[in-house]
Amino acid sequence: MEVKTLGQFVIEKQADFPYAKGELSRLLRDIGIAAKIVNREVNKAGLVEILGETGTVNVQGEKVKKLDVFANEQFISAFKAGGEVCAIASEENDDIIPIDNAVSKSAKYVVAMDPLDGSSNIDVNVSVGTIFSIYRRTSLNGAGTLQDFMQKGTEQVAAGYIIYGSSCMLVYTTGKGVNGFTLDPSIGEFCLSHPNLTTPKSGKIYSINEGNYLHFPEGVKKYIKYCQEEDKATNRPYSSRYIGSGVADIHRNLINGGIYVYPTTTKSPKGKLRLLYECNPLAFIIEQAGGKATTGEKRIMEVPITELHQRTSLFLGSSDMVDTAMDFMTKHSAEKV
Ligand code: AHM
Ligand code: MG
Q: Where in the chain is the domain with CATH 3.30.540.10?
A: 6-194
Segment 153-189, tens digit of pLDDT? 999 999 999 999 999 999 999 999 999 999 999 999 9
**134: which strand partners?**
111, 158
Query: Looking at residues 286-303, what average pLDDT do you find?
Result: 98
Q: Where in the chain is the domain with CATH 3.40.190.80?
A: 205-331
| Residue bearing the CA closest to ligand 1, atom 14 | 244
Query: Looking at residues 263-275, what average pLDDT do you find?
Result: 96
Q: What is the rounded CA–CA span in Å between residue 34 and residue 30?
A: 6
CATH number, domain 205-331? 3.40.190.80
Alpha-helical regions (H) of 17-111: 23-43, 48-54, 67-82
- Ligand 2 geometric centre to CA of 278 (Å): 6
Query: Looking at residues 83-99, what average pLDDT do you find?
Result: 96
In this predicted structure, what is the pLDDT of residue 55?
43
- Ligand 2 geometric centre to CA of 17 (Å): 31
Ligand 1 nearest-atom number relative to CA 128:
9
Q: What is the rounded CA–CA span in Å between residue 246 and residue 274?
A: 12
- 3-state DSSP assignment of residue 18: coil
Outline where DSSP puts E strands in 120-214.
128-136, 158-164, 168-173, 178-184, 189-194, 205-207
Least confident of 55-64, 75-84, 207-216, 309-318: 55-64
CB-count exposure of residue 279 (10 Å: 0-12, 13-18, 19+)? buried
In this predicted structure, what is the pLDDT of residue 105?
84
Is 212 close to ligand 1, i.e. is its CB under 6 Å away?
Answer: no
- Ligand 2 geometric centre to CA of 118 (Å): 6
* Residue type present at position 140: L
Pocket test for ligand 1, best of 93, 113, 117 (most atoms within 8 A of CB): 117
pLDDT at 300 over 60: yes
For residues 319, 131, 186 and 24, what is the CA-based torsion angle, rounded to 10 degrees? 100
For residues 42, 44, 50 and 53, what is the CA-based torsion angle, rounded to 10 degrees? -60
- CA 95 vs. chain centroid, Å, equals 20
Segment 29-73, tens digit of pLDDT? 999 999 999 999 988 877 766 554 344 444 444 445 688 899 999
- Ligand 2 geometric centre to CA of 273 (Å): 7
CB 288 within 8 A of CB 167: no
The CATH class, in words, for 6-194 is alpha beta
Average pLDDT in the chain: 92
Pocket test for ligand 1, best of 93, 209, 254, 279 (most atoms within 8 A of CB): 209
Q: What is the rounded CA–CA span in Å between residue 267 and residue 141?
A: 42
Is 268 close to ligand 1, i.e. is its CB under 6 Å away?
Answer: no
330 closest CA partner among 220, 207, 201, 236 = 220
